[in-house]
Structure 1
Amino acid sequence: MSDSKTGILAMIGACMIWGLSPLYYKLLTNVPPLELLAHRTLWSLVTFAALLAFQGRLGVLRETLRSPRAAAILGFAALMISVNWFLFIFSVQIGRVTETSLGYYMFPLVAVLLGVVVMKERLGRWQWLAVALAALGVAQLTWGLGAAPWISLTLALTFGLYGIVKKRLSTGPVVSVTAEVTLLSPIGIIWLGWLHSHGQGVFGHDLRTSALLAFSGLLTALPLILFSKAAQKISLSTVGLLQYLNPTLQFFCAVVIFGESFTGYHAVAFALIWLALAIYSWVSISQDRARRKSAATSLAEAPL
């Protein structure tokens, strides 16, 4: 199988796991969100640390955490991803998966806007149009429902900030995520210790719940590994397009499987954001093709 096909299959696998993960968290509605977040953090650390140990790369993790600059960046990234994880878990438990889907659809456009504000990047007219359409979708949903879609906005913003700070790190995704959960783990251990000391912890009370909690580590690690593999083998524009499979599957879970409310205001908001994403994707693909064509031309004209 070619590298391109392998990369596409790996990306589809990662997005299917992310997109269908609400089904998993729906099985754990008996576990409070903070407790579930603490378990996800700890079991992720166990899984990632075992993977790095198998690869003989634990030393890279230690060196990364010893760097004050890297530790500061990773600390902020850990805060952003923990808020993102908690809000996602909480949203699934209270039946708001439609809003998580909207948030992850909005993420690429929020990331573009953050790039303008934080990284001083410049956008073309079509990219500004995409951002404006997304903003219009959020505005009409806010007007129609009488409240802003805070879950969607917070998910998109925290993931966007997470992505921006991670660009400042030279370490790979597995090492950096392991470092993040390493920094978060003491908080998780203290919280779980307090719960169990007061007879409130759920782990160990029944095999099903305990096994599902332990599985959260693999559920976090596997799609990240697949995503990393895909990013090495296919273009960024293809990665970007395939990523929309994640919120699409979340949307399917919310409306078809969970039967969540989907009003006309939701329909208009989603339509505007889908149109914005279509424009954004078209621009991204065009720019990627232009870069590859320019690189091929420069290579062909280079003196031997």
Structure 2
Amino acid sequence: MYKGVALSVLASATFGVLYFYTQFLKPLDSEQTFAWRMLATLPFLTLFMWKSGELKHIADIFKRIFRQPWMLPWLIFSSVLCTTQLWLFLWGPINGRGLQVSLGYFLLPLVMVLVGCVLYKEKLTRWQLAAVALAVLGVGHEIWRIGGIAWETLYVALAYPLYFFMRRALKTDHLGGFWWDLFLILPAACYLGFVYSDSMALLLDYSHLIWAVIGLGFLSALGLGSYILASRYLPFVIFGLLSYLEPVLLAFASIMMGERVEASEWLTYIPIWLAVVLLVIEGCLHLIRQKRNANMLNRNVENVQKRLESE
């Protein structure tokens, strides 16, 4: 569980950096940036899997495709669900829609919690219930304020839960499954990068873009790999609630890039930020209790050993 929490926090922090990182990729547009992100992420992800001993999962899925051909269409659908989210993640801040995308990530954990409670019968603690209530208040206010939900927000909130549910159902909820998500989209990435636009000329004209693309691939592999592993190690509810750290960081990144939170939007963001604070407090209290219980167990073991030695 602790490993899953650490991976989730690492992923959220990396995504926050990536949101701001798009400024270094100009003059590439969102489609070109997406193409190079896919092309640069796969080698780093493969290296990461080699170091962690997870390359075997790639071959396992390949063998399953031959034994169960019906898997291939579902893998392609999984790839589309995943990579369109990655495109939207970059498209938002580049086109001044960063806050709409970040609101989708605010709404996403609520949908994840709902999926966990309904489909997987997972239970919420009192702290988590309070965090959910605050999040509902914030998201509900935003929906009331704008009179609806932007398509970017809705797509983020609904497509990701379907993606993770499908991965668990197909038993591809590991880095091997994510590797196939990226691999199957490579033809589209090559088309966007080399046919649809001559982005290679831009890379040659702007020398900093080569290093920026390499950094993009490394950060993407680190963040996405950590995110996928966290979804495997954590219950759906906990994974969903921890995801609140990401939209907070994305909102801050959007503000740093020039977007502004209006006075009427504060009732959206403050309750959600408070929800994140509650989750942090609960996590700290849980660690304190775990440490206290471990110390008590060690003292009991020492007392038993002394008693046995005295006898």
Quick check: TM above 0.5?
yes
In structure 2, the residue matched to 1:205 is: 205
Residue 32 (structure 1) aligned with residue 29 (structure 2): yes
Matches of 1:24 and 1:215 in 2, distance apart? 9
Q: How does 1:89-238 map to 2 (within 5 A)?
A: 89-114=90-115, 119=119, 137-145=138-146, 148-195=149-196, 202-227=202-227
SS in 2 for 1:179: helix
Letter of the 1:20 partner, please give it.
Answer: V
Find the partner of 1:45 among 35, 42, 59.
42
Indicate the residue corresponding to 2:254 in structure 1.
Answer: 254
User: Which shows bigger deviation, 148-157 or 232-241?
Assistant: 232-241
1:238 Cα deviation from its structure 2 partner: 6.2
Match of 1:62 in 2: 62
Cα gap change, 1:155 to 1:232, in 2 (>3 Å):
closer
C-alpha contact 2:65 2:71 (8 A) present in aligned 1: yes
Aligned to 2:264: 265
How far residue 59 of structure 1 moved from its aligned partner, in angstroms, is 2.3
**Aligned counterpart, 1:245:** 245
- Residue segments in structure 1 that go unaligned for 5+ positions in a row: 290-304
Give the Cα separation in 2 of the matches to 1:51 and 1:122.
31
CA shift in 2, pair 1:192/1:284, >3 Å: same
> Do the aligned partners of residues 201 and 74 (structure 1) sit closer, same or farther apart at CA in structure 2, a change above 3 Å counting?
farther
Counterpart AA for 2:38:
T
- Structure 1 residues 167-202: Cα deviation after superposition (integer angstroms, max 9, x where no partner): 113235210111011111111112323135x68853
Supply the distance in 1 between the matched residues of 2:65 and 2:112 (Cα, whole angstroms).
26
Change (3 A) 1:96 1:232: closer
Matched, 1:14 2:11: yes
Q: 1:165, 1:199 → 2: CA distance?
A: 34
Q: Distance in 1 between matches of 2:41 and 2:199?
A: 24
Q: Which residue of 1 aligns with 2:298?
A: none
For residues 199 and 274 of structure 2, what CA distance do their matches in structure 1 show? Answer: 51
- Label 1:227 to 1:160 Cα distance change in 2 as closer, same or farther (>3 A): closer
- Cα 1:211–1:264, aligned 2, differ >3 Å: closer, same or farther? same
Contact 2:28 2:199 in 1 (8 A): no
Distance 1:229 1:134 in 2: 25
Q: What do the CA deviations read for 1:66-114 (whole angstroms, capped 9, x no partner)?
A: 4434323322221112221121111111233333332212111122345
DSSP 3-state at the match of 1:187:
helix
Aligned partner letter, 1:155: V
Equivalent in the alignment of 2:85:
84
Assess, with a 3 A threshold, how the Cα gap between structure 1 residues 222 and 280 changes in structure 2: closer, same or farther: closer
Q: Structure 1 14/281 Cα, relative in aligned 2: closer, same or farther at 3 Å?
A: closer
Bigger mean CA offset, 224-233 vs 62-71:
224-233
**Secondary structure of residue in 2 paired with 1:261:** coil
In the other structure, the counterpart of 2:296 is: none
Contact persistence 2:8–2:227 (CA under 8 A): yes
> Equivalents in 2 of 1:61, 1:218: separation in Å?
24
Amino acid at match of 1:206: Y
The more displaced of 214-223 and 133-142 is: 133-142
Structure 2 regions of 5+ residues with no counterpart? Answer: 290-311
Q: Of the two, which has the highest radius of gyration?
A: 2
Instruction: State the alpha-carbon separation in 2 of the partners of residues 164 and 38 from structure 1.
Output: 26
Residue 71 (structure 1) aligns with: 72
- Displacement after TM superposition at 1:62 (Å): 2.3
Q: How far 1:34 moved relative to its partner?
A: 1.2
- Secondary structure of 1:31's aligned partner: coil
Q: What code does the residue aligned with 1:85 have? A: L
Give how far 1:165 is off.
1.1
Query: Please, which moves more after superposition, 266-275 or 72-81?
Result: 266-275
